[in-house]
Amino acid sequence: MIAARLFPASLPAQQGSLCGNGELPSAADIDGLAWHFLGVLQAAMNLPQAGASGLVLRRVIDLGMSAWPLK
């Protein structure tokens, strides 16, 4: 999976951007969040093949987004 191999290299730039503009708290675990959301994305891509409905997919995404830290 190419995205997973390239993914860690983009984290330092993302951290400066997200924390610098106030979108995330400066103490946010950017690396952990990034891997979490990559995992949620991978799962979401496979759910329809497993027979999940659109409602189930939306619930998974909503739960995944609940990990986003508040300012």
Whether residue 45 lies inside any domain: the answer is yes
What is the number of structural domains in the chain?
1
Q: With DSSP H G I counted as helix, E B as strand and the rest as coil, what are the percentages for the chain, rounded to 5?
A: 70, 0, 30
Can you give the pLDDT at residue 27? 84
Count other C-beta atoms under 10 Å from residue 62's C-beta: 9
Pairwise CA distance, residues 57 & 30, whole Å: 24
Whether residue 44 lies inside any domain: the answer is yes
Domain interval for residue 57: 2-65
Can you give the pLDDT at residue 12? 59
Q: Which pLDDT tens digits describe the chain residue by residue (71 residues)?
A: 545 555 565 655 665 666 767 778 888 888 888 888 889 998 999 999 999 999 999 999 999 999 888 76
User: Phi/psi zone of residue 51: left (φ > 0), alpha (ψ -120 to 50 degrees), beta?
Assistant: left
Q: What is the DSSP string of 30-62?
A: HHHHHHHHHHHHHHHHHTGGGT--HHHHHHHHH
